[in-house]
């Protein structure tokens, strides 16, 4: 009997040889077809991610003619969402190509900005943020074309149809009363001009439209939604849950922007098959990705025009009416400058890019940026402080038969417990939560910490395979006047547009919170009886969370806020901010689900204003 042969090694590397010729040709053709004379359009929408996608869907399905401007190219999801690619299919074992390089923690902190100017990076064709990997490398921007200056900041940007929704973390958490009325709880800063009850109905609509898996827990700090079937805690996590319950803390199934039961209103999406590779892009579109969930249905109405390769430089102002008349676009490929016009402009480019567009929108009426009469625009930048991490092994699971433990969109979640109810800290305000999980994963990452080699090493890896558990913290960064972005007029991007200069640092409150995060996660691991406990206590670089908010904050007083309660700049009635730039504070929650809900609320206002002729 002939011995079986191992499978032949592939002659090409699937991680390098992705044929994008068709989608690149489609992108160029679409950008050539859509010119300023192709209209008219009622509304221009900048961006196609969570904010731009929801704005397009809401307006187009209401019969409003919209033009969506995307700075990047189109996306071939079936080819580029490499959900089922195995490591053995890649000669480089899913490493980045040799001519690409992503920044690491130390480089963010110690390399001068712009990062791409460092001699070490000259040999690379593309330098990216830390978020780039073999699956996302064609979506995130090249730092050499898109520099930043100022203080260290790990800004993750994606110029592709759908933006970061193609690889987001899928955490679908609602803001609640502790976020909308934070100042009423602790006296710091100001409340939002709206409350949770103003947005709750829109969260419900988003849950129904897009699908959200989770479990009802009745917690004020993270309100329940309209949930589809949640993931279950595995055996390792159940032991951990029972241990931290003795401290009065909860471990609950993660809340994911994934349809586990299916949605009835979208032919482009299927229910989750629990493959656990969502961060690559889901080729079933069970995970919320804007291209399939929002952009494609908007296109099907016949009311949406999409133009890729459209880098928006500024909003154009009619100074006689003090209203926007459109936007100035630079074609990303040809560098042609074009002015597109419409009755309404919606900015959904992401907090920082939207702010950059507004700061670049200068006129004699607004020399410091559109509507920026009191120097508020660009200030109060906030996000989450990260870096604290706890890990260990649950002894009850050591040596047990492995089970499939990571076939889910997100891991479990420890909701905020600091400065909630009777818990009152005297050294810091606000709070934090933890995300993570345990059990046997597709890749046994615990092996990196196992000593030895050979047969004994392999045996140890297998023995501990079902038992690892780890959690990382997300802490609220207080909005502060001095934390800001502004334009650097001495540095421009590849299209000649002034870039953002960061002046942003974690403050004393965040540093004290970080110390408490480390202490509390160690306390929880010990309460769960974990072994070989390791605690990471250092903060990751500023910006690592990708949860930027607040640089165009809303409020009722134009002297202390930039936008009103409907997310439009004070005094400029036909410009609306659809992303997280107007948010006053953000708690510990991920931002995407709130962006979707708030955008829906704002677009309902736009529709009514257009119906009545006010816009």
pLDDT digits (tens, 9 = 90+) for 64-110: 999 999 999 999 999 999 999 988 888 888 888 999 999 999 999 99
Asked if residue 427 belongs to a domain, the reply is yes
What pLDDT is attached to residue 558?
96
What pLDDT is attached to residue 421?
92
User: Can you tell me which residue has the tokens 């970080």?
Assistant: 514
Q: Examine the domain organization and report whether 568 and 461 are in the same domain.
A: no
For the chain, what is the mean pLDDT? 96
Whether the per-residue pLDDT at 443 is higher than 60: the answer is yes
User: For residue 44, what are its two tokens?
Assistant: 């221009």
Q: What is the pLDDT of residues 498-551, one digit of tens each?
A: 999 999 999 999 999 999 999 999 999 999 999 999 999 999 999 999 999 999
Whether the per-residue pLDDT at 57 is higher than 90: the answer is yes
What pLDDT is attached to residue 544?
98
List CB contacts of 51: < 8 A, sequence separation 6 or more: 348, 349, 350, 578, 579, 580, 595, 596, 599
Q: Which of 8-22, 352-366, 439-453 is predicted most confidently?
A: 352-366
Across the range 214-224, mean pLDDT stands at: 97
Asked if residue 488 belongs to a domain, the reply is no
Q: Examine the domain organization and report whether 371 and 396 are in the same domain.
A: no
Q: How many domains does the chain have?
A: 2
**Distance in Å from the first CA to the final CA of the chain:** 80
What pLDDT is attached to residue 90?
81
Q: Examine the domain organization and report whether 525 and 404 are in the same domain.
A: yes
Q: Examine the domain organization and report whether 448 and 529 are in the same domain.
A: yes
Asked if residue 59 belongs to a domain, the reply is yes
Across the range 168-183, mean pLDDT stands at: 97
Sign of CA pseudo-dihedral 527, 588, 487, 160: positive
Confidence of residue 552 (pLDDT cuts 50, 70, 90): very high
Asked if residue 372 belongs to a domain, the reply is yes
Asked if residue 191 belongs to a domain, the reply is no
Q: Going along 441-520, which residue ranges are E strands?
A: 468-476, 484-492, 498-503
Q: Examine the domain organization and report whether 316 and 234 are in the same domain.
A: no
Q: Examine the domain organization and report whether 238 and 370 are in the same domain.
A: no
Whether the per-residue pLDDT at 356 is higher than 70: the answer is yes
Helix orientation angle between 196-210 and 592-611, rounded to the nearest 10 degrees: 100
Among 541, 564, 588, give the residue marking a domain's end: 541
Q: Examine the domain organization and report whether 303 and 158 are in the same domain.
A: yes
Across the range 182-190, mean pLDDT stands at: 97
DSSP state of 7: P
Q: What is the pLDDT of residues 281-292, one digit of tens each?
A: 999 999 999 999
Q: Which residue(s) pair with 391 in the sheet?
A: 470, 534
What pLDDT is attached to residue 87?
83
Question: If we measure between CA atoms, which residue out of 325, 456, 252 comes closest to residue 39?
Answer: 325
Question: If we measure between CA atoms, which residue out of 581, 47, 575, 38 comes closest to residue 311?
Answer: 47
Q: Examine the domain organization and report whether 416 and 439 are in the same domain.
A: yes
CATH of the domain at 145: 3.50.50.60
Distances (CA, A) of 313 to 354, 413, 579: 10, 40, 17
Among 541, 562, 594, give the residue marking a domain's end: 541
Among 498, 520, 541, give the residue marking a domain's end: 541
| 3-state SS assignment for residue 6 | coil
Q: Examine the domain organization and report whether 396 and 528 are in the same domain.
A: yes
CB 289 within 8 A of CB 257: no
Count the residues in the chain. Answer: 615
Across the range 312-327, mean pLDDT stands at: 98
Q: Tell me how far apart the alpha carbons of residues 397 and 202 are, in angstroms, rounded to a whole number.
A: 42
CB 155 within 8 A of CB 349: no
Whether the per-residue pLDDT at 11 is higher than 70: the answer is no
Q: Examine the domain organization and report whether 421 and 537 are in the same domain.
A: yes
Asked if residue 82 belongs to a domain, the reply is no
With a threshold of 0.75, does the pTM exceed it? yes
Q: Examine the domain organization and report whether 247 and 393 are in the same domain.
A: yes
Q: Which residue(s) pair with 346 in the sheet?
A: 45, 576
Confidence of residue 17 (pLDDT cuts 50, 70, 90): confident
Q: Examine the domain organization and report whether 374 and 464 are in the same domain.
A: no
Whether the per-residue pLDDT at 9 is higher than 80: the answer is no
Residue span of the structural domain in which 238 resides: 229-254+384-476+506-541
Q: Tell me how far apart the alpha carbons of residues 603 and 582 are, in angstroms, rounded to a whole number.
A: 15
Q: Tell me how far apart the alpha carbons of residues 430 and 510 are, in angstroms, rounded to a whole number.
A: 9
- Sheet with 149-150, edge to edge strand ranges: 149-150, 498-503, 484-492
CATH of the domain at 440: 3.30.410
What pLDDT is attached to residue 169?
95
Asked if residue 94 belongs to a domain, the reply is no
What pLDDT is attached to residue 92?
80
Asked if residue 259 belongs to a domain, the reply is no
Scanning 308-364, the segments in alpha helix (DSSP H) are 351-360
How would DSSP label each residue in 112-144?
PSSGGGSGGGTT-SEEE-TT--TTTTTTBPPTT
Question: Beta 100-102 vs 126-128: how paired, if at all?
Answer: parallel
CB 129 within 8 A of CB 157: yes
What pLDDT is attached to residue 3?
52
Q: Tell me how far apart the alpha carbons of residues 57 and 604 are, in angstroms, rounded to a whole number.
A: 11
CB 65 within 8 A of CB 366: no
114 upstream amide cis, omega within 30 of 0: yes
Q: Over the Cα atoms of the chain, what is R_g? A: 24
What pLDDT is attached to residue 280?
93
Q: Tell me how far apart the alpha carbons of residues 462 and 440 are, in angstroms, rounded to a whole number.
A: 10
């Amino acid at each position: 009997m002939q011995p079986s042969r191992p499978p032949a090694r592939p002659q090409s590397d699937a991680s390098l040889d992705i044929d994008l010729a068709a989608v690149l040709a489609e992108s160029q053709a679409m950008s050539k077809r859509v010119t300023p004379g192709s209209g008219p359009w009622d509304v221009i929408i900048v961006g196609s991610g969570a904010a731009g996608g929801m704005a397009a869907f809401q307006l187009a399905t209401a019969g409003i003619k919209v033009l969506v401007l995307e700075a990047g190219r189109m996306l071939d999801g079936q080819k580029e969402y490499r959900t089922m690619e195995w490591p053995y299919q890649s000669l480089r074992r899913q490493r980045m190509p040799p001519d690409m390089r992503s920044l690491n923690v130390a480089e963010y902190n110690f390399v001068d900005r712009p990062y791409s100017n460092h001699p070490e990076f000259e040999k690379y064709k593309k330098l990216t943020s830390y978020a780039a990997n073999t699956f996302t490398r064609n979506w995130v921007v090249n730092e050499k074309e898109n520099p930043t200056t100022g203080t260290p900041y790990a800004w993750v940007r994606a110029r592709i149809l759908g933006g970061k929704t193609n690889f987001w973390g899928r955490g679908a958490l609602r803001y609640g009363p502790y976020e909308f009325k934070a100042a009423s709880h602790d006296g710091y800063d100001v409340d939002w001009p709206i409350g949770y009850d103003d947005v709750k109905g829109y969260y419900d609509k988003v849950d129904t439209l897009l699908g959200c898996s989770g479990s009802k827990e009745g917690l004020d700090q993270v309100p329940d939604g309209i949930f589809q079937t949640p993931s279950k805690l595995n055996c390792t996590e159940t032991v951990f849950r029972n241990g931290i319950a003795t401290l009065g803390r909860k471990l609950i199934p993660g809340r994911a922007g994934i349809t586990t039961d299916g949605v009835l209103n979208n032919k482009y999406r299927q229910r989750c098959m629990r493959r656990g590779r969502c961060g690559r892009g889901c080729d079933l579109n069970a995970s919320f990705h804007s291209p399939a969930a929002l952009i494609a249905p908007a296109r099907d109405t016949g009311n949406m025009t999409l133009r890729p390769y459209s880098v928006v430089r500024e909003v154009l102002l009619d100074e006689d009416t003090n209203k926007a008349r459109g936007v100035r676009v630079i074609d990303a490929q040809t560098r042609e400058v074009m002015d597109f016009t419409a009755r309404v402009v919606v900015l959904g480019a992401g907090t920082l890019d939207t702010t950059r567009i507004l700061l670049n929108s200068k006129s004699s009426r607004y020399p410091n940026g559109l509507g920026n009469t009191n120097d508020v625009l660009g200030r109060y930048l906030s996000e989450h402080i990260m870096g604290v991490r706890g890990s260990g092994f649950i002894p009850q699971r050591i040596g047990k038969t492995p089970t499939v433990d990571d076939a889910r969109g997100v891991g479990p979640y420890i909701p905020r417990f600091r400065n909630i109810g009777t818990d009152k800290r005297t050294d810091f305000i606000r709070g934090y939560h933890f995300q993570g999980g345990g059990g046997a994963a597709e890749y046994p990452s615990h092996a990196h910490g196992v000593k030895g080699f050979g047969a004994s090493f392999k045996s140890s890896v297998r023995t501990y395979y079902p038992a690892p558990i780890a959690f990382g913290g997300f802490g609220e960064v207080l909005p502060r006047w001095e934390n800001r972005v502004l334009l650097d007029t001495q540095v421009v991007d590849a299209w000649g547009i002034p870039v953002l200069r960061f002046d942003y640092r974690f403050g004393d409150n965040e540093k004290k919170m970080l110390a408490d995060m480390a202490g509390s996660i160690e306390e929880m691991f010990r309460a769960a009886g974990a072994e070989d406990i390791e605690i990471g206590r250092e903060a990751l670089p500023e910006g690592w969370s990708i949860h930027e908010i607040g640089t165009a904050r809303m409020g009722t007083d134009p002297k202390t806020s930039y936008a009103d309660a409907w997310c439009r700049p004070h005094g400029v009635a036909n410009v609306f901010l659809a992303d997280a730039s107007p948010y006053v504070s953000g708690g510990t929650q991920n931002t995407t689900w709130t962006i979707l809900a708030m955008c829906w609320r704002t677009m309902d206002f736009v529709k009514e204003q257009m119906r009545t002729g006010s816009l």
